[in-house]
Amino acid sequence: MSTPTAPVSSVVNVGADLLADAVASQAVDVARVDWRPPLPGTESDLATVAADPLRRDANARAVAAYHGVTARLVDVVPASEALGLEPGQFLHAGPPITWDRASGPLRGALLGGAAFEGLVEDPEDAAALFEAGSSVSLEPCHHRGTVGPMAGVVTPSMWMFVLEDVETGRRTHCSLNEGLGKVLRYGAYSPDVLERLRWMRDVLGPLLQGSVRAVRDSAGPVDVTGILTQMLQMGDEAHNRNRAGTLMLLRDLAPAMVLESERGGGLSPADVAEGLRFIGGNDHFFLNLAMPACKLALDAARGIEGSTMVVAMARNGTDFGIQTAGTGDEWFTGPAQLADGLFLGDYGPDDANPDIGDSAITETAGIGGFAMATAPAIVRLVGGTVPDALATTRRMHEIALAENPRWSVPVLDFQGTPTGIDVTRVCRTGILPQINTGMAGKVAGVGQVGAGLVTPPEEIFPKALARLAELTRERAQA
Amino acid sequence: MSTAVSSETGPGTGTSHVELRSGAYADSVALLQVSRSVQGVAGVRAAQVAMATPLNIEVLTSMGFAVPDAAGPNDMVVAVRVDDEDALAGALAAVDEALRAAGKRSTGASADVAPHRTTATALRDAEDGAVALVSVPGQHALVEAMDALDAGRDVMIFSDNVPVEQEVALKRIAADRGLLVMGPDCGTAVVGGVGLGFANVVRPGPVGIVAASGTGCQQLLSLLDHAGVGVTSALGVGGRDLSAEVGGLATREGLRRLDADADVELVVVVSKPPAASVATELEQYAASLETPVELALLGAGQPDLTAAAERVLTRLGVPVPAWPVWGSARAATGPLLRGLFAGGTLAGEARLIAAEALGEVTSAPAALAGDTHAVVDFGDDELTTGRAHPMIDPTLRLEHLARVGADPRTGVVLLDVVLGHGAEDDPAGSLAPALAAVAAPVLVTVVGTGADPQDLERQVRLLAEAGAEVHLSNAGATRRALELLEARA
């Protein structure tokens, strides 16, 4: 607390430059805020929420809860067992959606998922099931403690990573990563895609279950949060680049995987070798651990009254939705945007589907696009430069509540990654969260067409703010 | 950024061009400088670049520009009137150039790091002793000020037009956290030796001030300085702090701090009279402090600022000097008093003193053209929405002065010139030429100290040479105006 005798060390000036000049002329340091008017129509809600007596401490608690989580890999089990998912129940990425509004890649993944589960022989025949809707149901992954990359389709016999916060026993889940290109999560459902899914079901899942359990019971479960700490210092941002993380996971699991063929699970040394080759050859394998680790940490901040922190950003290919700590399970949605980036082969912007996937949970947690500075290698995805990457992370700090004490960026002098997107700060600055993402083909069955950068639709932040303001006013009147 | 353009050419009227730049923003002072520099371009008859606030739209309309209906306060309007189409390109190039120049910042940070966008993020990088100074438009001020309180820092809110319930919200939270909210509508503070807002350069000394009035505080600073008495701190609290709604929350915190400051021998509270409910509490709290407190409450039947300064000097055992007067006014020419003030408290003080002698003295700008005595505060909230304060931008006052000067009913013109950090570089330089066209006697109070950047001596000389009678005491100048009117009657 300052007293009038304490010399004023410096002044932060927001507003008229002339007043900053007057301070500077007295040889006092002045930091000049580059203030601009907030997003149109948010002034009154911003003032209401800013004056909410709960807000500051609620946000501090949300940040502390988020930072307090360490995610450990405790199991690998089928979704039927992990989530109680029954035949005909399908999970998908993003906020809730119906078949009639679903985009190509989500439809493609659902068709493939139905064929994979044996509901139909030919994936194309499953369209009638989803149109009828009587024997199948759609539900967001997020509603089941799960996150799904891209289309995010989860069916009962897919194997799931199970992450646990050892402090509380809370769990989150994610399917196993298929690799890149023509894969189910990008909406492809050709025979080779289904073939790979079956191999993952019959070989990779059991192999991982045995080795994850063996490691858990001997050395203790793999510390996924700890691997994230390290990979962020090795050029990964944990959304579009997971190379170091994948290799570190492999390092932790490989000895136990090698012994799997001797544990009587019916797997051969050749199966083990294939599993090792598959993981080692898939730079994105760790994404499916990074995502549930982020969700586990962010879920700890849910349900804190008065907090303006974003706890989920997710896209279903049609809608982009966010949830905040202070607004319960309500989704604030707007149209998913097209990413700007690089395309595979002959594909171009006309082939791309709007933004899709739960993987923006990484940005919600302050990595991915928020940690661009630590992964300069991937700025080329959008034809950017290394200075762009540094500027992006610095810009994301402008809308974040805090810095992560564990996840730091060496090139920014080990500054922590931006933690906790603040809805009010987005509305005040107009700076939208920067997301690194893959691009799916808009036609069902095509698969991946590229990767790039995208932001949420601007209007969802004022929507969330309006609800926060409404709740603030209700509390004030109570 | 979208642009809506209208251009119209009339015979002999030149070409008017109005364009809307949505998403562009600059503060009113910067835009004033832009407008000025474009006005100086060859072939430009009129130029106004401003945010499309209701007040600025009014100004643009009165200049003969048609502002599109779609314009809102977040849109920048670029309006120019030029001799001919050829001059238009030059004028618009000058606008862009001036906007670029206005946007240049010397942050001292390395060129590739963008400046922070909020008070909260800027304070993360600031040292412990940092204070926040907020002067964004009033409806946005609470959000920035709350950032400071959340970071455990004091804040001065220069912005006016802040709703009183927002002021209360800020000050309640500040009181809970032992922080000081100076403002809203706080024009002047001296904190830890640093002048914030419009502050005169004073030597440190035994007096501490808590001021609910910016120019009232400045008058006190300049009179005490003239008498050789220094001031350790002058904590502004905003004009509404002692109202019933706000309840003196910041005044109390200011008093607490000054009482704890060993260098302060005497505390002065400068304010309009508090609400009755607040007055008792304030007096009780002041009585509970170790440091003596002098209440300088301005209002009908109360001593004026000069009298308050004299009481402070007497309590400190310092002889009261004769307050200086330079130059000499001629006799009153008409029946009416016309006061055109930049300082709200100075205007209020003049109005009170004049009303005792003259009866009704009105305060609306329109009254300057009417049949009554009028003393107008051009720094009033209504006249500063979306435009800079008259202590920075003399335009509005000079326009009215020209009309008042040409009006035969004008008997005496009463003005103030406030010096110090933040004020115009050379206010007398823009005012003196305008005085030549005023037939009536002109009395000017110059509020300033010898160490102020504008050079008090030179300011006084310029005004006196232009025929004005210059006072250091506003109460003195006002009484002299009454004498002149009295002598004519």
DSSP per-residue codes, A171-226: EEEEE----SSS-GGGT--SHHHHHHHHHIIIIIHHHHHHHHHHHHHHT--EEHHH
CA–CA distances in Å: residue A450 to residues A186, A325, A351, A353, A374: 10, 33, 10, 10, 22
Give dist(CA B347, CA B362) in Å, integer: 11
Mean pLDDT, residues A155-183 taken together:
96
Residue A164, classed as helix, strand or coil, is strand
Q: Do B122 and A425 touch (CB under 8 A)?
A: no
Q: What is the least distance, in Å, from the CA of B109 to any CA of chain A?
A: 9
pLDDT tens-digit map of B138-177: 999 999 999 999 999 999 999 989 999 999 999 999 999 9
Report chain B residues whose CB lies below 8 A from the CB of A10: 126-127, 129-130
The predicted model gives B307-333 an average pLDDT of: 96
- What span, in angstroms and rounded, lies between the C-alpha atoms of B75 and B3? 10
Single out the residue of A30, A440, A23 nearest to residue B116, CA to CA: A30
Instruction: Please state the rounded mean pLDDT for residues A126-130.
Output: 98
The CA-CA-CA angle for residues B479, B484, B487, to 5°, reads 120
B197 to A387: CB separation less than 8 angstroms, yes or no: no
What's the pLDDT at A6? 66
Strands A171-175 and A222-223: unpaired
pLDDT tens per residue, range A330-346: 999 999 999 998 888 88
Cβ within 8 Å of residue B398, ≥6 positions away: B430, B431, B434
Q: Report pLDDT for A382.
A: 64
Q: Is A17 on the interface with B (CB under 8 A)?
A: yes
One-letter amino acid at A446 equals V
pLDDT digits (tens, 9 = 90+) for A359-382: 999 999 999 999 999 998 888 776
Find residues 216-255 of chain B whose CB sits inside 8 Å of chain A.
232-233, 235
Q: Is residue B314 predicted with pLDDT exceeding 90? A: yes
| pLDDT recorded at residue B270 | 95
Q: What are phi and psi of B14, to 5 degrees?
A: 80, -170
Q: What is the pLDDT of residue B1?
A: 45
Q: In what order do the strands lie in the sheet with B130-134?
A: A29-32, A10-14, B130-134, B155-157, B181-182
Could you give the CA distance from residue A235 to residue A379 in angstroms, rounded to a whole number? 11
Cα separation, B152 vs A1, in Å, equals: 7
Q: For a pLDDT cut of 90, what percent of chain A falls above it?
A: 90
Q: What is the pLDDT of residues B78-92, one digit of tens each?
A: 999 999 888 898 899
pLDDT of residue B108: 39
In B, which residues are within 8 Å of A17 by CB distance?
A: 27, 29-30, 102, 105
Residues with Cβ within 8 Å of residue A190, at least 6 apart in sequence: A182, A445
Q: How many CB pairs under 8 A join A and B?
A: 204
The whole-angstrom separation of Cα B29 and Cα B24 is 15
Compare CB distances from B114 to A2, A5, A394 and report the shortest one's residue.
A394
Q: How confident is the model at residue B381 (pLDDT cuts 50, 70, 90)?
A: confident
Residue B488 has pLDDT above 90, yes or no: no
Mean pLDDT across B319-328: 97
Of B146, B152, B392, the CB nearest to A50: B146
CA distance A62 to chain B (A): 15
The B residues from 90 to 149 touching A (CB cutoff 8 Å) are 102, 105, 107-108, 112-123, 125-137, 139-140, 142-144, 146, 148
The nearest alpha carbon in chain A to B263 belongs to: A5
Mean pLDDT of B60-79: 87
Cross-chain Cβ contact A23/B421 below 8 Å: yes
Partner-chain contact A22 B422, CB within 8 Å: yes
| B133 → closest Cβ in A3, A12, A43 | A12
Average pLDDT, chain A: 95
Which of A7, A37, A395 is the closest to B193 by Cβ? A7
Look up residue A117 and give its two tokens.
Answer: 């589960």
Nearest to A31 among B126, B195, B388 (CB): B126
pLDDT at position B8 is 65
Q: For residue B69, is pLDDT > 50?
A: yes
| pLDDT cut 70: percent of chain A above it | 98
The mean pLDDT of B281-301, rounded to a whole number, is 93
CA distance A431 to A396: 8
A3 inside 8 A of chain B by CB: yes
Average pLDDT, chain B: 91
Interface of A with B in 255-284 (CB under 8 A): none
Confirm if A321 and A315 have CB atoms less than 8 A apart.
Answer: yes
What tens digit of pLDDT does each residue of B427-477 get?
A: 999 999 999 889 999 999 999 999 999 999 999 999 999 999 999 999 999
SS3 B352: helix
Of B231, B248, B366, B331, nearest to B297 by C-alpha is B248
Structure confidence by residue, pLDDT tens digits, B250-271: 999 999 999 999 999 999 999 9
Residue A67: CA atoms inside 13 Å, Cβ hemisphere, count?
Answer: 19
Angle (CA) A253-A256-A261 rounded to 5° is 130
The residue behind tokens 């997003």 is A39
User: Residue B2: pLDDT above 80?
Assistant: no
Is there a contact between A357 and A149 (Cβ–Cβ < 8 Å)? yes
Q: What is the pLDDT of residues A182-218, one digit of tens each?
A: 999 999 999 999 999 999 999 999 999 999 999 999 9
